[in-house]
Structure 1
């Protein structure tokens, strides 16, 4: 048996091949381009890598062109956490020396000694991997949009409280097109005071509003003409220019989030698992795509539902030593799936009577809100695992049976 370890870097990669006794068979440094990838594949083929007997490969990343080339065949690619690789490094020497060829050798030895303890990259379909790219990008764009909106809001509090009062009743606040159009038209309080009803109506129409324009224009005019403290004129103008700069970033972030939202919806609805996922209460297209992105469609990725629950961070972890015994929440998990699970469980409370009853029972037993939400997510993701394996849709009576149904 031969094992391969690859120490990944930006410009080059170090490769090490060892046999089942730990003997170094070959080491090579390849460039991060097509020529380097061909050299790596030729090296693996020279030592017996075929479609029927592929050489397992360990690398410290699960993405990038190099990983895509390695996954093109039937070989198993193991993405080893760099922190875990650092712990293994201490097994081969106590001097704490470090080098790229040495790290490649350490990765190869990880597979030689502990390959059953590590998971290969899942064999997801290309469509599932594409959905994962889009769903994660949409989630990042949403977080980035909110971060910029928070920066703009903090800036407006310093010199322009009327703008915050004007948008206080609008959902999504500064991320709404009406709010952005108003700030572009009047980035300072002095300019907002001079706005007429005609200008305000035109601004609301330009932002896409079609109802209640006259009443909203009158409300905005009264708010802008209210009594507020103000900065000196030069300082106010400078702050207005800073606000316009942030506003341009916010518009770009909003546009990116909207475009990615459309792309996620288009791709997700093409996947055969989409019907099963959106049948669950609390899971729509966007949140369902995030769940699919992290769970994948490789049915053999998780041996059972407990593995998926641990991966999602919903299952508790037990720490026991001697007389000490503690059961707490899991800290090492897939953060994206855990975040989606929290939103999923929260949304399910309104759309599923069984989920709401389960949550309330946990609260009555003494759980805090987050613990009850996590317990509900733990139950529902186990049900999702079952439905995906069997190809069944969510059934409220089966998922949360009543006492009458259970007795029957």
Structure 2
């Protein structure tokens, strides 16, 4: 039995429901009565006065519930702050719902607002109110997603730099492991073209590496030989012109690294202050950023996921089953929270290197013929059941209380004795 906070009442309060079609500049709103008739339509601007006008008009229409296509943003914040119940109906659902009212399939903001309001009236048993997370979780989520976006930009620019260097200075591409590492960027800042690199000898390279604090993983003589073995790069005026492009990319990459590091410090600080931090930081190989992403994407509102299956389905790690007659197809779940799926699968993929139970689940999935992404999703689904119980009880993950892990370890003891 679900609690009242996770379901809508059987009848809409005051017998009216509202729908809001979100847009960048203005929002179309419709209010329908218990018979499905549109009793009020209006448009409000996406401004401070416009949002206040939205609240006043909805209150005047005695609407207590509003259906909308997205669950975040200033519109949702204004509605929740004013005490309205917000119900999210995804754009994919809305696209299919339009056919209820006509076969033309036309897109119109005022019509979509009516469809949202009327669906909230008729499909109440299948809809759930939006349950917001705490401000600390919302802030942490925004910081984690901003860092991930910057990492994506860094990867794209690093690939662009690598392709550029393949044409003008191939020796720098394979010199160090990562083209965007601190030592690689420092090298390219000092030796941005073939002419500058030609000045190097094993001794000079060793002296420069020592001056920048190189870890010494690879001997200077080996690095110098890599430069000699690589194809010659552009020299002279051509090399100097291409070095300008190299320096431009280096400047942006260095700035991205600086900002990513600054966001990681913010994430660590925000995570340390969060009341649920102990649940996620104790997971194997979770680290700081990974634990913060898991916490931020799952959230801290326990009522949102009354069962672990609900969490697994939203994360897209539970398969989607379609059956018609004797035909039955089990396939990939496309409708999912992609940010949550990415966070969970990222954690699960690395956890197998530190947890024997996770490694066993992953290896068995691969043995059955599943590819790596599918095996990771299978493991992620199993982890979500563990995480859900820790999350609901607000307790840290303890390997000694993980029964499946302990059973596996006890089975292995006679073999290793």
Taking structure 2 as the reference length, the TM-score comes to 0.87
Aligned partners of 1:82, 1:234: CA distance in 2, in Å? Answer: 55
Which deviates the most, 335-344 or 217-226? 217-226
Match of 1:109 in 2: 118
Match of 1:185 in 2: 190
> Secondary structure of the equivalent of 2:43?
strand
The 5 Å alignment of 1:396-407 reads: 396=399, 397-402=402-407
Are residues 1:25 and 2:39 paired?
yes
Are residues 1:377 and 2:380 paired?
yes
Say whether the 8 Å CA contact 1:383–1:399 is kept in structure 2: no
Give how far 1:201 is off: 6.3
Say whether the 8 Å CA contact 2:183–2:214 is kept in structure 1: no
Give how far 1:299 is off: 0.5
Match of 1:84 in 2: 93
Give how far 1:303 is off: 2.2
Say whether the 8 Å CA contact 2:193–2:235 is kept in structure 1: no
Aligned partners of 1:381, 1:186: CA distance in 2, in Å? Answer: 48
Deviations 1:23-58 (A, max 9, x none): 112111111111111111111221235xxxxx1111
Q: Would you say how many aligned residue pairs link Structure 1 and Structure 2?
A: 395
Aligned partners of 1:212, 1:364: CA distance in 2, in Å? Answer: 40
Deviations 1:34-88 (A, max 9, x none): 1111111111221235xxxxx1111222222222111214322123222221221
Aligned partners of 1:373, 1:292: CA distance in 2, in Å? Answer: 19
Match of 1:291 in 2: 294
Match of 1:38 in 2: 52
> Secondary structure of the equivalent of 2:285?
coil
> Secondary structure of the equivalent of 1:42?
helix
In structure 2, the gaps of 5 or more residues are 1-14, 412-417
Aligned partners of 2:251, 2:137: CA distance in 1, in Å? Answer: 33
Aligned partners of 2:109, 2:368: CA distance in 1, in Å? Answer: 53
In the alignment, which of 150, 166, 170 is matched to residue 141 of structure 1? 150
Deviations 1:160-195 (A, max 9, x none): 11101321xx3xx12222211221222211122124
Aligned partners of 1:153, 1:227: CA distance in 2, in Å? Answer: 14
The 5 Å alignment of 1:41-120 reads: 41-48=55-62, 55-120=64-129
Taking structure 1 as the reference length, the TM-score comes to 0.89
The 5 Å alignment of 1:273-288 reads: 273-288=276-291
Residues 1:244 and 1:319: Cα distance change in structure 2 (over 3 Å): same
Say whether the 8 Å CA contact 2:278–2:396 is kept in structure 1: yes
Match of 2:10 in 1: none
In structure 1, the gaps of 5 or more residues are 50-54
Match of 1:154 in 2: 163
Say whether the 8 Å CA contact 2:175–2:227 is kept in structure 1: yes
Residues 1:17 and 1:198: Cα distance change in structure 2 (over 3 Å): farther
Say whether the 8 Å CA contact 1:182–1:203 is kept in structure 2: no
> Secondary structure of the equivalent of 1:331?
coil
> Secondary structure of the equivalent of 2:62?
coil
Residues 1:279 and 1:177: Cα distance change in structure 2 (over 3 Å): same
Aligned partners of 1:227, 1:371: CA distance in 2, in Å? Answer: 39
Residues 1:151 and 1:384: Cα distance change in structure 2 (over 3 Å): same
> Secondary structure of the equivalent of 2:174?
helix
Say whether the 8 Å CA contact 1:193–1:225 is kept in structure 2: no
Which deviates the most, 8-17 or 228-237? 228-237
Give how far 1:263 is off: 1.0
Cα RMSD of the aligned pairs, angstroms, is 2.5
Match of 2:334 in 1: 331
The 5 Å alignment of 1:145-294 reads: 145-167=154-176, 170=177, 173-195=178-200, 204=209, 209=213, 211-212=215-216, 219-226=222-229, 228-231=231-234, 233-294=236-297
Deviations 1:208-234 (A, max 9, x none): x26549x85555444445562334644
Residues 1:205 and 1:405: Cα distance change in structure 2 (over 3 Å): closer
